[in-house]
Amino acid sequence: MGSYKQEDVIFLLKDLSDISLEQRTEVREAAMQTGGHYSESLAIEYQPTAEYIQLFQDTLDDSAVRIARAVGTVSEMIIQKNGFDVVLASLARGGTPIGVLIKRYIKQIYGVELPHYSLSIIRGKGIDENALLYMNQKHPDKRVQFVDGWTGKGAIRKVLMAACSLMKQKHGLELNDELAVLADPGYCAGTFGTREDFLIPSACLNSTVSGLISRTVLRSDLIGPDDFHGAKYYKQWKDADLTSVFVDTISAHFNQTAASSKAEALHMQANPAQNDSTWQGLKDIAHIQSDFGITDINLIKPGVGETTRVLLRRVPWKILVDRLDNANLKHILLLAKDRGVPVEEYPNMTYSCCGIIKSIKGESE
């Protein structure tokens, strides 16, 4: 599955490409807020305008070196903690491009080819146990390093911690629940490339920067007890696919940035207190929840990556930004204008911005 090269990643997903799973955003939002689960359907993928695609390209050009340095830093931290005896397990789909980049960095700089799989994890339902058992069968003596793109509130980190505990209870499988991310603005990952909340260009788009793979799906009528979680492969958008453009552009800078990445990782190793997971982001969310009278914390999506997702596939109520002239937020402001969503300054956040989903129950209106 997917438009990545086979040597970059193997998706442990059941192909649901021939099944109609997409729902209009408003219908899907209503279902999710009245007892339905986000993994039971798919949003209709946003088809970006030419202006937005140009913004993606400009952002990629502007940030490629910075992202390459951060990829190198998180890769070096993984090597410090695990050596090379490790399997990369990226969380589909936002983690997949980052897992591909980490794999490429380690191959390019050290000449070591790490196995890399992409599997599903779903808030409220857990991780794909069949995928983990498959990986363990293939690589019984290697440690698993979970990889994601960025942190928001840290919800996925909590799901991962619970899932690893459950795997030990059910299958006797010891897994390290540490999550490696490119960006950790939520201060809830111990292995990261940066804690700055800047735009990772892969967050700008949906499947067309993630190997043409949809969000993952888990429904009992589609996924049997021995199946992997499911996803669709959108082959019809092959001509718009920017997956290779993204990973090739970043990885072209690894030789140039490797020295500074190694120095940064060594600095963090020597100063472990700087890597502590303080969960500062959750404290900011509590303030936002109180200030705006929001009862459901799941309606608050902090950070550039999560705010982008709110604008691309949810029903937004408003967008909070730390400051309107923040250079990292050009695409957020463009998307908000395109969808008619109000933007409000809310200074002193850990995050650059925060998306708030419209409640169908009447709050936040």
Q: Residue 171 CA to chain centroid, in angstroms?
A: 27
Closest CA to 315 of 27, 22, 48: 27
* Residue 11 DSSP one-character state: E
> Quick one: 143 exposed, middle or buried, by C-beta within 10 A (0-12, 13-18, 19+)?
middle
DSSP string for 67-130: HHHHHHHHHHHHHHHHTT-EEEEEEETTTHHHHHHHHHHHHHHH-----EEEEEEETTTEE-HH
What is the rounded distance in angstroms from the CA atom of residue 304 to the CA atom of residue 321?
Answer: 10
Contact 281, 154 (CB under 8 A): yes
CB atoms within 10 A of CB 138: 12
CB atoms within 10 A of CB 345: 11
The two tokens of residue 104 are: 């490429």
* Residue 315 DSSP one-character state: -
Given this model, what pLDDT does residue 124 score? 80
The two tokens of residue 279 are: 């969960």
Partnered with residue 91 across adjacent β-strands are 119
Could you state, in chain order, the average pLDDT of each consecutive group of 10 residues for the chain (365 residues)? 91 89 72 71 74 83 93 96 95 91 97 96 88 94 93 84 91 90 88 87 79 87 91 89 93 96 92 83 89 90 87 89 88 89 92 90 46
Contact 125, 93 (CB under 8 A): no
What is the rounded distance in angstroms from the CA atom of residue 160 to the CA atom of residue 183?
Answer: 17
Query: Which strands make up the sheet holding 353-357, listed edge to edge?
Result: 300-302, 353-357, 316-321, 343-345
Contact 17, 42 (CB under 8 A): no
Q: How far is CA 24 from CA 16, 42, 45, 225, 350, in A?
A: 19, 9, 10, 29, 33
The H or E element containing residue 294 is none
What is the rounded distance in angstroms from the CA atom of residue 272 to the CA atom of residue 330?
Answer: 34
What is the rounded distance in angstroms from the CA atom of residue 211 to the CA atom of residue 57?
Answer: 17
Given this model, what pLDDT does residue 197 score? 85
